[in-house]
Structure 1
Amino acid sequence: MNNSINLTHGSGGTQMHQFIKERIMAKLGNNILEKMDDAAVMENQKSSQIAMTTDSFVVNPLFFPGGDIGRLAICGTVNDLATSGAVAHALSLAFILEDGILFSDLDKIIDSIATTAKEARIKIVTGDTKVVERGKCDKIFINTTGLGFINEGISISSHKAQPQDCVYITGTMGNHEVALMKARELFDFSITTQSDVAPLNVAVNKLLSLTKNIHTIKDPTRGGVASALREICEHSQCTIKIFEEHLPVDKDVHAVCDLLGLDPLYLANEGKFIIIAPESSHSQIMQAFPQSSIIGEVIKTLTNNKDELLLETISGGMRKIRMLDTMQLPRIC
């Protein structure tokens, strides 16, 4: 009995259709996807604004402490939608599979996708499957597109940060990238760190039901918190000051950074948001994201195009923070 994908599973014939029905549709099916049309037809949600995002996932390894490529694909997509304030509505899902990937691995990934989509309250409404020769793909790559609708009165963007806004991070920094380092056996000491990969869209929906006075939400994935904040400074033409003593870092992540010479500000996250909002929105942010910390503030807008990200160190000094210049770890998402 064949226990792995082969090229006929992408050929358009009987084996491909059987594979899709038995291994994908059986777990991800819904009233739209089960029609198996070439295009998904959905109800109009009567919103004046539509948000759309697309993403591709090539993480290595496929399974890591706290997650896998399937969970990552759903979370990454709904979280990108949530940064605009959109309510996630529908998702496309495309697999590029390597000849030889084990059905047992693929089943685990599809199970994880189904579980995470339910957690994120989003339907997968259309998809695609391609199979390539051995060596032309590393087991599985996933591409997604997400569609969401933005309710009236919501205007959230990396271009909207304002002076005197507070800068929040919704939890500890760097767990995802350190979990991948552990999975790749890049260090030989024991830690308990797991990836923080999680869908945050439901929490954002709760936040925006409590207040619409949110200016910016940003997903600090590749490049970490530092690069995400630096991008906000550039887009909003502002200076942001953050405080070293307020940066939340788990003790294991801190230990790894000390031993390997890494800066947690540049480590990737997959289940945290940067939120920038007026102080008047503090209680609502804490209700929706109880683990949040205020790590800084927007201190001014600019007239000379010199946007800056500043770090006030524990010793009282001031350091300019740049966007990540190099690659700390490839294929983290």
Structure 2
Amino acid sequence: MNKPKRTLRAKTITMAHGAGGKAMRDLIEDVFVGTFANPDLEQLEDQARFELAELMQSGAQLAFTTDSYVVDPVEFPGGDIGSLAVNGTVNDIAVSGAIPKYLSCGMILEEGLDVELLRRVVASMKAAADKAGVTIVTGDTKVVPKGKGDKIFINTSGIGVIPEGVDISASNCRVGDKIIVNGLIGDHGAAILNARGDLALDVTLETDCQALNELVQTMLKACPDVHAIRDASRGGVATVLCEFAESSAVSIRLQEEHIPVRDTVRGVCEILGLDALYFANEGKLVAAVPADKAEAVLEAMRNHPAGKDSAIIGEVIESNYNRVLVKTHFGGERILDMLVGEQLPRIC
């Protein structure tokens, strides 16, 4: 027997939508279950259930991650907090070499939130999940009083399966490895900064927010022995490389002239005295690849839409100091340290 479809008729979120009663059920069934629309979620159980045999067909290990998303503004050029939450969690799974499968979605909503804004964010999550080939299978909703939140906070957790023989880790970098990025860095941080309107810059900047799971699998086909991959989100490329250097007990030397940065992002950095290497990204990864496979990996990446602007930007060198160096346009070198203090612009 078909159940009658519940409909959320409220224009804004109230405390009742988090109270566990009829209003909350209307919200969940209409906005979340109705949009995400898959058999696992439609069971409305307190957990999602999977066939272990099906997961084991894809690999020998599970990858599991969780992340929380807070951004102002909630919607920005090229994306919103919904696509950010899905793609960010997919990427955290993907850079292990895993194939992302399932996501959870935890929503903390502020009383007074416009329901139409919420519907747009949820629709964006559905579109991003479909594009990445993952399914949102379970979730939770809470409502906080007005003034105690910032419109929407989202937590997403993800599960993926690591294929047999894949071993990607920040501790695997080796002397001679080439360092590769999959495109122009700093777009997301610059786009968020500009979207807030504080600087009144007359430029067009969009987030780079995208899922990278297909790109990572493309890289692994070209070189199954990719040593390390991380997505360069908070803290940017600089922080990822410092983590590589510390975890692998090596040093890394970058060639500044080879680092791809959009002219508008470079201009924003020059105006504010910032460094694009510290700007957040939501669709960029950094990889350490054996030198003899680097060109093959680079070619494969450039043939994928998410890696068309990929570049080799440096190499792993032997050193006792476990640090990152940048050879500048002028021929000198500077030390690139891990982000100290608060990130500018603050994105979450």
TM-score normalised per structure 2: 0.92
> 2:238 touches 2:338 (CA, 8 Å); kept in 1?
yes
2:341 is aligned, of 314, 321, 326, to 326
Partner-residue secondary structure (3-state), 1:159: helix
Q: Which amino acid aligns with 1:294?
A: I
Would the aligned equivalents of 1:60 and 1:331 in 2 still touch at CA under 8 Å? no
Give the alignment partner of residue 311 of structure 2, picking from 283, 287, 293: 293
- Spell out structure 1 runs of 4+ moving beyond 3 A: none
Which of 20, 23, 34 is 1:12 aligned to? 20
1:59 aligns with 2:74: no
Distance in structure 2 (CA, Å) of the matches to 1:319 and 1:218 = 23
Instruction: Give 1:217-232 correspondences, 5 Å limit.
Output: 217-232=229-244
Aligned pairs, how many?
330
> What residue number does 2:166 align with?
154
Paired residues of 1:7 and 1:133 also in contact (CA < 8 A): yes
Mapped partners of 1:71, 1:273: distance in 2:
17
Counterpart amino acid of residue 207 in structure 1:
M
1:280 to 283, 287, 292: 292
Query: CA RMSD of the aligned region, Å?
Result: 1.3
CA distance in 1 between partners of 2:222 and 2:265 (Å): 33
- In 1, Cα distance between the equivalents of 2:282 and 2:43? 32
Offset of residue 7 of structure 1: 0.8
Q: Secondary structure at the match of 2:31?
A: helix
Q: CA shift at 1:206, angstroms? A: 2.5
Q: Tell me the alpha carbon deviations over residues 210-258 of structure 1, each in whole angstroms, 9 at most, x when there is no partner.
A: 3312001111111111111011100111010001111111010011111
Asked whether the 8 Å contact 2:222–2:296 carries over to 1, the reply is no
Provide Cα deviations, 1:70-109, integer angstroms capped at 9, x if missing partner: 0000010000001111100111100000110000100110
Alignment match, 1:27? 35
CA drift of 1:280 comes to 3.0
Deviates most, 134-143 or 273-282: 273-282
Residue in structure 1 matching 2:189, options 177, 192, 197: 177
The Cα shift of 1:331 comes to 4.3
CA distance in 1, matches of 2:332, 2:345: 32
Distance in 2 between residues matched to 1:255 and 1:189, nearest whole Å = 10
Structure 1: 5+ residue runs without aligned partners?
none
Give 2:78's aligned amino acid: G
2:232·2:280 contact (CA, 8 Å) conserved in 1?
Answer: yes
Query: Which residue of structure 2 lines up, in the alignment, with residue 122 of structure 1?
Result: 134
What SS does structure 2 have at the residue aligned with 1:235? helix
Kindly indicate whether the alpha-carbon contact (under 8 Å) linking 2:97 and 2:166 is maintained by their aligned counterparts in 1: yes
Q: What is the deviation of 1:314?
A: 1.0
How far apart, CA to CA, are the structure 1 residues paired with 2:22 and 2:214?
A: 39
Q: Which deviates further from its counterpart, 75-84 or 282-291? A: 282-291
CA contact (8 A) 1:58 1:331 kept: no
Q: Which residue identity does 2:337 align to in structure 1? A: R
- Partners of 2:37 and 2:94 in 1: how far apart? 24
Contact 2:230 2:286 in 1 (8 A): yes
Q: Distance in 2 between matches of 1:284 and 1:317?
A: 29
Secondary structure of 2:171 counterpart = coil
1:113 aligns with 2:125: yes
CA deviation after TM superposition for structure 1 residue 299, in Å: 1.1
| 1:34-53 equivalent positions in 2, closer than 5 A | 34-44=42-52, 45-46=55-56, 47-53=59-65
Aligned to 2:324: 309
- Matched with 1:131 is 143
Give the deviation of 1:209 after TM superposition.
Answer: 3.1
CA contact 1:76–1:270 (8 Å) conserved in 2: yes
Measure how far apart 1:330 and its partner are: 5.4
Give the aligned residue type for 2:45: D
Q: Does the CA-based 8 Å contact 1:5-1:103 persist in structure 2?
A: yes
Deviation at 1:69, TM superposition (A): 0.2
Task: Give structure 2 stretches of 5+ with no counterpart.
Answer: 1-8, 302-306
Where does residue 166 of structure 1 map in the other structure?
A: 178
Instruction: Return the letter of the residue paired with 1:120.
Output: A
Q: Is the 8 A contact 2:98 2:162 kept in 1?
A: yes
Whether the 8 Å CA contact 2:96–2:169 is kept in 1: the answer is yes
